[in-house]
A and B are shown apart, each in its own frame.
Chain A
Amino acid sequence: MAIDLPAASRPAHVPFYNNPKVRSVVYQIALCAVVFGLVYGAINNAIENLQRARIASGFGFWNNTAGFDISQTLIEYTSQASTYGRAFWVGLLNTLLVAGLGVVFATILGFVIGIARLSKNWLLAKVASGYVELIRNIPLLLQLLFWYNAVLKTLPDIRDSIIISGGGFLNNRGLFLPQPVFTSGFGMVEIAFILGIVAATAFCIWARKRQMETGQQAPVFLVAFGLVIALPLAVCALAGFPVDFIFPEKARFNINGGIEVLPEFAALLVGLVIYTAAFIAEVVRAGILAVSRGQTEAAYSLGLRPRPTLRLVVVPQAMRVIIPPLTSQYLNLTKNSSLAVAVGYPDLVQVFTGTVLNQTGQAVEVVAVTMAVYLTISLLTSLAMNIYNTRIALVER
């Protein structure tokens, strides 16, 4: 008996309120309405409150005279003539300075500790682990306060400064070092340095070509090091060390001349480096562990010695795993540098969101600009990292 199939029926009629597409549109419109309503209400309130408190709006304040001093300025700045805008740049440069140096030193320390944690020497591995556990479980702010208040501020004061051989002073107002002034002869050293870099690059290229052709290897690292470091030093010596130093002079209440490293800067840098290095150590350890033992075994079984194995097989693979979280730690360090406010280092947040905001009262503009700066740094770094990731991703099916 054949089954009677009905004629192709029209799609079932769905009431509009059950149609997922309709629902989705309705939800979204409702959400937009709510968000828009909140934002509108907030802005209205803000305008009203600001007007009532007689606070200006807009960025007119950018060109007003700042009228306050900043303890560390990498560019020209005076309290009488410089604007708030100028203060912004001073703060930003200070942030970039501490973040840049912090990233460099934290990377070095972090790699050393990460590798130490994997050492076959049980004692070293345990000490490195202890460091990581201790530092990671204590808040950064507490560590900064410790370095600043309990260590640097307890240094003797100016009268009893610790004398550093070579003409420096260490006291609770900072580290004072001789300032080098490069005289005319130094141009030769600079030329030698540039020549050194060029020659080292040329040598590397030549050595690589020769290896491809004849198989012979050359001590590339040593030669490059010699050219880039030893050569300029030699030229410097031959030219009779064309550097003059301005030595810091100890007066009764002050030290004049020389380079001054503020304790605020030092505390922030040391704290950031030690803290971030603990996290970088974990990232490095995870990266190296991610390369399976079989890779090293295969390389050894082919006759490769440990150092070429690391260089050609382990490190390239480990780097793929290390770089993304490493960049994330760099970003964290940059954002953490905003804690400068707690030790009084004049970074962007301390100068701009602190002093400038206090003086102008224009909270919305100031906080918005500060956030925009950090957002830009974050987004640029993420972008660079994504590009890097897509380029070096292991090719798979």
Chain B
Amino acid sequence: MTMLDGNQAVGEISFVRRTPIAPLPPPLAMAGALGWVRANLLSSPSNIALTVVTALFLLWMIPEAVNFLFIDAVWSGSDRLACLPSAQQPEIGACWPFVWERLPYFIYGSYPIPQRWRVDAFFVLLAIGVGWMLWLNAPRRDLGVVYFFVVMPIASVILLTGLAAIGLPPVDTTLWGGVLVTITVASVGIVVSLPLGVLLALGRRSRMPTVKTLSVIFIEFVRGVPLITVLFMASVMLPLFVPDEWSPDKLLRALVGIALFASAYMAEVVRAGLQAIPKGQYEGAMSVGLGYWQMMRLIVLPQALKVTIPNIVNTYIGLFKDTTLVFIVGIFDLLKAIEVSRIDPKWAAPVTSTTGYAVAAIFYFVFCYAMSRYARSTEARLAQSEKR
């Protein structure tokens, strides 16, 4: 048995490497940018064909979009004449003057101009609440919960609807419009659906048969019908079911509809979280003598909610998009504001509609995309904290 040395082929039984091999750079064909391109875009005939087709599609689509939004767009003007095709500019893009002029209407609706600072104050309060809840290292987050779910809603209602006693003239909800309404509906939905959803989820898991049955009926009923029928029910039937004196305000009816609808979906999300908590947690809590509500509040719910934050945020994204449906029951949200504006004869031009829709699309996309990125980062963080 001979001991071979160096780097010869290991054919005989024994071998010992005396000179280690330093790492070499990879062959040129697979290194760096060129290598990446070859591997990902050009690795086989079918791959090459796909790359070509996709590239052609992008070359058609992106310049179109950029042209419309920026290059061919009109940036200043005072009425439709600015946005009509003319000899100098046969291709017209977005009609931005339309947006500048209508922007306050998109944001506030017909809220009286001197009182608009109240709407701004509401947005600020809301932003503070959201930031406090989302920033994980914020101080006193338990106070933040109280602020977000109790203090802020009350303050916002007073601010927006007015209270003569403290010098805030009342503003009727029929004057509200645009982003104000959208954010209001979404916020109410978000603030109400989580607590109510938790209650429903607990009810569905309850061992008391009446509680469980009522919860199941409510949840399955609401989840089985389209939101629009719930909104119709709320706006058309709610006035029938309450005594005449209480006749609820149109916006309130829509808010009730949206809140109930979102709660049912939230209930299912929370229920999945509760099911994910191992039985041992419940048993541990009970064995130290915690009552039902204490157990839920201190042990189970914190864990369940933490685990399902991504799904909760996804439900919120759906809720945010669903707020557009209030338009169909006559509430003046952002989409309605845009619909009304785009048919305004002052700005009648072929590009007005598309411009208006583009603005709405950008608004919704920014909010929803931000929420979905937050959900994804939370998911990643939770997964990381599970790794050893």
Contact = CB atoms under 8 A, between A and B. Distances in A.
B364 A138 contact: yes
B325 interface: yes
A137 B237 contact: no
B226 A335 contact: yes
Contact of A342 (B208, B225, B327): B327
Contacts of B43: 120
Interface in B156-213: 207-211
A298 B232 CA distance: 55
Contact of A24 (B208, B221, B324): B208
A58 B325 CA distance: 29
Nearest to B314: A136
Residue among A28, A134, A139, A141 with the most chain B CB within 10 A?
A139
Interface stretch (A61-69, A240-248, A312-320, A367-375): A367-375
Residue among B220, B229, B243, B354 with the most chain A CB within 10 A?
B229
A338 B229 contact: yes
A188 interface: no
Contacts of A339: 228, 325, 328
Given A46-B240, A363-B240, A123 B51 contact: yes
Contacts of A141: 324-325, 327-328, 335
Contact of B50 (A119, A357, A363, A379): A119
B118 interface: no
Contacts of A31: 210-211, 214
Interface in B254-296: none
A28 B229 contact: no
Nearest to A363: B236
Contact of A367 (B210, B221, B232): B232
A122 B209 contact: no
B40 A120 contact: yes
B356 to A, nearest CB: 9
Contacts of A52: 244
B54 A137 contact: no
A124 B220 CA distance: 39
Contacts of B321: 137-140
B224 A378 contact: yes
Contacts of B372: 133, 136-137
Nearest to B46: A121
Contacts of B55: 123
The bracket for how many chain B residues form the interface is 35 or more
A121 B40 contact: yes
Nearest to A146: B357
B225 A50 contact: no
A45 B241 contact: yes
A252 to B, nearest CB: 25
Given A338-B229, A342-B327, A27 B211 contact: yes
A240 B40 CA distance: 51
A363 B237 contact: yes
A329 B179 CA distance: 29
A371 B236 CA distance: 14
Nearest to A125: B40
B211 A374 contact: no
Nearest to A25: B208
A336 interface: yes
B350 interface: yes
A42 B327 CA distance: 27
Given A27-B208, A124-B54, A349-B228, A139 B364 contact: yes
Contacts of B237: 46, 363-364, 367
Interface in A289-344: 335-336, 338-339, 341-342
B239 interface: yes
B368 interface: yes
A122 to B, nearest CB: 4
Contact of A137 (B227, B236, B368): B368
Contacts of B233: 367, 371
A139 B353 CA distance: 17
A338 B364 contact: no
A217 to B, nearest CB: 24
A343 to B, nearest CB: 11
Nearest to B223: A378
Nearest to B48: A121
A349 to B, nearest CB: 6
B47 interface: yes
B57 interface: yes
A335 B227 CA distance: 8
Nearest to A148: B353
A6 to B, nearest CB: 25
Given A137-B317, A341-B328, A374-B224, A367 B229 contact: yes
A121 B324 CA distance: 37
B328 A342 contact: yes
Interface in A127-166: 127, 133-134, 136-142, 145-146, 149-150, 154
Interface in B39-97: 40-41, 43, 47, 50-51, 54-55, 57-58
A145 B369 CA distance: 21
B255 to A, nearest CB: 18
B228 A341 contact: yes
Given A50-B240, A341-B328, A342-B328, A142 B335 contact: yes
A127 B57 CA distance: 10
Contacts of B379: none
A154 B354 CA distance: 11
Contacts of B224: 374-375, 377-379
16 contacts: A27-B211, A28-B209, A45-B240, A45-B242, A119-B50, A122-B41, A123-B50, A133-B369, A141-B335, A338-B229, A339-B328, A357-B236, A364-B237, A367-B229, A367-B237, A379-B224
- Going nearest first, the 6 A-B pairs with the smallest beta carbon separation are A378-B224, A137-B368, A335-B226, A139-B321, A42-B241, A338-B226
Given A137-B317, A371-B221, A379-B220, 17 more contacts: A24-B208, A52-B244, A121-B51, A123-B54, A123-B55, A123-B58, A124-B54, A127-B57, A139-B322, A141-B335, A149-B353, A335-B227, A339-B325, A342-B328, A353-B232, A370-B229, A370-B232
